Each structure stands twice: as C-alpha cells, then as structure tokens.
Amino acid sequence: MTERLLLVALITSSLLALFAACMLGSTPMELPRVIAALFGQSSTADAVVIWQIRLPRALAAWLVGAALGASGAALQGLLRNPLAEPGVLGVTATASLFATFALYYGLAASSVFVLPAFSIIGALIATGLLATAAIRIKSVVTLILLGVGLSSFSAAAMSLLLNLAPNPFTLSDMINWLLGSVANRSFEDIEMALPFILLGLGILFVTRRGLSALTLGEEAASGLGLNLRTQRIAVVLGAGIATGASVALAGAIGFVGIVAPHIVRPVVHHDPARSLLPSALLAGLILVVADIGVRILPTTTELKLGVVAALIGAPAFAWIAMQRRSTHE
C-alpha cells in the first residue's frame, strides 16, 4: 500500500467509525434515524442522543487518539527510538498527576482553562526532562527506565492524592482522569481542549522535516543545517501541549501512541516526518473503535477507555520490544 492510499483509507475508515459510533450503543439506532438526526430532520430524542451524547464522545476519542498518535511518532523520531511514546515515557502520567492536583484542590472549578493548563504544564515538565536526558544518555534502555521511573513516581503521587481525597465526588473525578474515559464529554469540553491540541499538532507538523534529518544522526543533521536545540524544543513543546490537552479531555490513555506509529512506519519507509499524519489518523481510528467496543460490551459497569487501550496496547508494546531486541541480536 502506498502512502497516499494509506491516508485515503485511514480518513475513510475514521469517517465510517465516527458514523458507526453514532449508530451503535446500548440502544442501536438504524441508519435512516442517524442520518435524519445528523441533518436535523428527526425527533428531539434522536437529535439529543446523536448531538449531545454519541457524536461528541466519538469526536473526543478521535481527537485524543490523533494527539497521542502524532506525539508518539514525533517523540520516536526525536529520540530515534520506536519504543518512545507519551504513555511509556511517563508524560501522560505526569500530565494526569497535575490534572489530578487541580481537581484535588478544587482549582479546576475556577476556570475551564485551569485543567488543560495544569495538564499541559505537567506534560511539558515530563517531556522536557526526557529531552534533556536524551541529550546526555546514549543508552535507549536507560532512557526507557527513566520514563518508567517518572511514570511510577507520578502514579505513586496520584495514589497519595486519591488516598487523601476529601469527599467521594472528588475521588470519582480523580479516578476518571486516572483510568481515562470520554464518557459524558460534550462539545464544550472539546472546544476547551481543541485549541491546545491543534496548537501542539501544528508545532509538530511545522517542524516535522527536522525529524527526517535526525534519522541520519545528530552530527549529520547539524551538518545539513538543522538547529538541534530548536528542533528538540519544538518537538518537546508540541508533544507536551498535545498530550496535556488530550489528558485534560479524556484522562490518561496510554500505548496508542506507540502502536499506531509502529504500524504505519513500514508504509512511509520509516520516515518519522511522513509518519506523523497517518499515525494521528490511525490512533484516532483505534480509540474510536475501542470506545465503540466499550459502549456495546455487555458489562454491568462501563469499562474505561484507558483500561481497554492498555489491555490492547501493553501486549503490542511487549511484542514491539521483542521484535526490536531480536533485530539487534
């Protein structure tokens, strides 16, 4: 499959998945009813289900996936490591920690921008630490271990906040961010996070050509005129903003940012710059499909999207790690 065909297939599949998300749920809706509701020619009840429940939820899942997919592809290109990803390297956990901190102290209630701001600050701090370490640490294993340590520390701090939660309502909100979910998301929630997601993705796409140069090594890239410092700052900033905004919208959702770039990389000839867009599209598609599965599974309590993503992504991460090791051996 060529790169152009891949993009067409992913865009088409994403649109079909969003449409399927409007049809499927605890009470399936027939195709004519969905079309009528989308174009304002249906009953009030159908319009409410589509425009206030199912469509915003599906769009939120797709946007979060796109942000994480592109961020994962960019970080992999920057660190020249196919195992790099916001969730694996602790960026998502740190963003969730800061969001949980804002919820714990009631700061999120003061303004709609407080929660995304705290999430983005946490993501930027974590990504900045990793980028700084990547300059000094040559071992990929050491860098991954640093990310695991950062993730573990953030998880421990979040557990402490959960343990000290002042009331059940605050505890419930904090658990939602910890497990990850797009349930009950509205267009207002999307409008709050969308500018930050677009800003982060915009920075990544503007500086994507520098990622291609880095595949030749830092010395060769510098010889081609690439400003390494500017490139690192741009990728860190873009990935941090996009990841932080995705956490503000859906909480902690991991592994999709490593699986999607790994799938599309052979099609784009392992060029990180060309993998950004298809990785974003595929990751968005994966989360929409996963959220459809969450909604139609016959469980007494709806599973969290972050839990399902981890159940799917963790084995994929292990398989990618094994493939990488066997290749080097």
Q: What is the pLDDT of residue 1?
A: 63
Task: Look up residue 63 and give its amino acid.
Answer: L
pLDDT in tens, 197-222: 999 999 999 999 899 888 888 788 88
pLDDT over 90 (residue 80): no
Q: Residue 139 has what pLDDT?
A: 66
Question: Residue 124 CA to chain centroid, in angstroms?
Answer: 14
312: three-class secondary structure by DSSP:
helix
pLDDT tens by residue, 282-326 = 999 999 999 999 998 888 888 899 888 888 878 877 887 777 655
34-70 tens-digit pLDDT: 998 888 777 788 888 999 999 999 999 999 999 999 9
Residue 159 has pLDDT above 70, yes or no: yes
Indicate the pLDDT class of residue 81, thresholds 50, 70 and 90: confident
Q: What percent of the chain has pLDDT over 90?
A: 30
Residue 67's pLDDT is what? Answer: 96
Query: Residue 157 has what pLDDT?
Result: 92
Q: Which residue has the higher pLDDT, 162 or 173?
A: 162
Q: Indicate the residue type of 266.
A: P
Give the residue carrying structure tokens 């900033």: 237
Torsion of CA 162, 165, 169, 170, to 10 degrees: -80
Above 70 in pLDDT, residue 249? yes
pLDDT at 140: 62
Tell me the two tokens of residue 106. Answer: 């009631």
Tally Cβ neighbours within 10 Å of residue 304. 22
Under 8 Å between Cβ of 203 and 120:
no
End-to-end CA distance of the chain: 29
Give 88-144 pLDDT, tens digit per residue. Answer: 778 888 998 998 888 888 888 888 788 888 988 898 888 888 877 777 776 666 777
What average pLDDT does the segment 240-252 reach? 89
pLDDT of amino acid 311: 86
Nearest to 119 by CA among 130, 108, 134, 133: 108
pLDDT at position 329 is: 45
